[in-house]
Amino acid sequence: MNFKNFSIDLKNKKRLIPQALTLLFIVLAISYFTFNAQVNMGNRGIAFGFGFLTQEASFDIGFSLIDYDGSHSYARAFLVGLLNTLLVSAIGIIIATLIGVTVGIGRLSSNYLVAKFSEVYVEIFRNIPLLLQLFFWYFAALRALPLPEQAMNFNDISYLTVKGWYVPKFIWTNFSIFIYFVIAAIIAIIFVSKHAKKQREEFGKHIPSFYISTALLFLIPALSFLIAGVELEFEIPVLKQMSATIFNFRGGVSIIPELMALAMALSMYTATFIAENVRAGILGVGKGQKEAAASIGLTKTQILKLVVLPQALRIIIPPTTNQYLNLTKNSSLAAAIAYPDIVLVFAGTALMQTGRAIEIVSITMGTYLLLSLSISSFMNWYNQSLAIKEK
């Protein structure tokens, strides 16, 4: 806001009155609600404050990425919920992008069957409410999976059952050293691509930076196993008999059905919108661009990589960012199938126990607001780095 202009504005009556009225209305509304809230909370004997966050939560959460049990604080429970939300959003975004790009390209395929198949997919999954899809996956599809004793077996290392998907657990020795090596690899890749760009722009030399980068990404971390004493073992889930009739898997990591259903519903729903964005982006690149590229002798792959994609990405990214934001916000539907995300853990259980409606709902909404703003500012930054740089 430009405060210099603002002070001049104040002298102008015609501009002053509506603004003053708006501000007065906002202030009055806020103070009215605050007053009521104070009276109501006074009647119930609770005082506004965030002190409860340090109190013992004394409830358990079924699925957690960090150490948590009932003896931890409400703040810790909030963190567990937030991490679960971020986990399912990240999985959803990755899968949705993969499906969305595939289907979006598929819709433009010259193959009639593939194009129709993609269109049917988009029209079906886009027009069914997400909540219903979620219920369908959770209550109908995943409930039809076999019991642990007849689990679907993937090469004896991974098992899919009605109680979840059991995958091997990674057990690391000297994990931090491995991470340092990965960081070193990333720095090396940045250096190589900068060098390659410089060589290309100044001397016209082509360095295959993509292959070099891929090799570096695998070779440097692999080196850490040889010289730095990093070790990796897999803990494979094993079927154990719990009692006479109850079997279950022990060991490994269990991906709970709630997470699977949520990730599946979110990604299949959002993928339809991403597919439409991808299609619009590719169609948005003028035909002349492709013809011009073909006329100077570029191959089909080169046309796609050097001419079509860089231009299409500029059209695709802004609406796709919006879809990523929607996916993150929609992950709050987790509350419907009891996946312990931030809404269920914090706005559900914690609110029920403490009764602090105003504090908890505002923390939850504030968190989502912060998530939305940070994703959109990151994507804005990325979008700007892709934009046409005019010299």
Would you count residue 15 as binding another protein (CB under 8 A)? yes
Touching another protein, residues 242-301 (CB under 8 A): none
Whichever of 48 and 210 has its CB closer to another protein, that residue is 48
When asked if residue 22 is in the footprint of another protein (CB under 8 A), the reply is yes
180 touches another protein (CB under 8 A): no
Q: State the number of binding residues for another protein (CB under 8 A).
A: 60
Mapping DSSP onto H, E and C, the string for the chain reads CCHHHHHHHCCCHHHHHHHHHHHHHHHHHHHHHHHHHHHHHHHHCCCCCCHHHHCECCCCCCCCCCCCCCCCEHHHHHHHHHHHHHHHHHHHHHHHHHHHHHHHHHHCCCCHHHHHHHHHHHHHHHCCCHHHHHHHHHHHHHHHCCCHHHCEEECCCEEEECCEEEECEEEEECHHHHHHHHHHHHHHHHHHHHHHHHHHHHHCCCCCHHHHHHHHHHHHHHHHHHHCCCEEEEECCEEEECCCCCEEEECCEEECHHHHHHHHHHHHHHHHHHHHHHHHHHHHCCHHHHHHHHHCCCCHHHHHHHHHHHHHHHHHHHHHHHHHHHHHHHHHHHHHHCCCCHHHHHHHHHHHHHCCHHHHHHHHHHHHHHHHHHHHHHHHHHHHHHCCCCC
Name the minimum Å distance from CB 351 to another protein: 6
| Minimum distance, C-beta of residue 201 to another protein, in the bound complex (Å) | 35
Query: Contact letters (x/-) for another protein, 354-383, by CB under 8 A?
Result: ---xx--xx-xx--xx--xx----------
- Position 153 contacts another protein (CB under 8 A): no
- Out of 73, 119, 136, 256, name the contact with another protein by CB under 8 A: 136
Q: How far is the CB of 224 from another protein (least distance, A)?
A: 35
Q: Which of 131, 127, 107, 110 is nearest to 275 (CA)?
A: 107
Q: Maximum distance among all alpha carbons in the chain? A: 85
- Closest separation between CB of residue 171 and another protein, Å? 31
Query: At its nearest, how many Å lie between another protein and the CB of residue 16?
Result: 9
**Using CB under 8 A, which residues numbered 23 to 52 contact another protein?**
23, 26, 33, 36-37, 39-41, 43
Considering beta carbons, is residue 254 or 277 the nearer one to another protein?
Answer: 277
Nearer to another protein, 115 or 212 (CB): 115
- In the chain, the amino acid numbered 83 is L
Options 8, 19, 305, 310; binder of another protein; rule CB under 8 A = 19
**Contact window for another protein (CB under 8 A) among 88-96, 212-220, 328-336, 383-391:** 328-336
Question: 110 or 384: whose CB is closer to another protein?
Answer: 110
| Distances, alpha carbon 2 to alpha carbons 7, 26, 216, 222, 380, in Å | 9, 21, 49, 55, 23
- For the window 95-134, what string marks contact with another protein as x by the rule CB under 8 A? --------------xxxxxx--x-----xx-xxxxxxxx-
Q: Which of the stretches 15-23, 74-82, 181-189, 246-254 binds another protein when contact is defined by CB under 8 A?
A: 15-23
If one asks whether residue 335 binds another protein (CB under 8 A), the answer comes out as: yes
The residues binding another protein (CB under 8 A) are 1-2, 5-6, 9, 15, 18-20, 22-23, 26, 33, 36-37, 39-41, 43, 109-114, 117, 123-124, 126-133, 135-136, 139-140, 143, 329-330, 332-333, 335-336, 343, 347, 351, 357-358, 361-362, 364-365, 368-369, 372-373
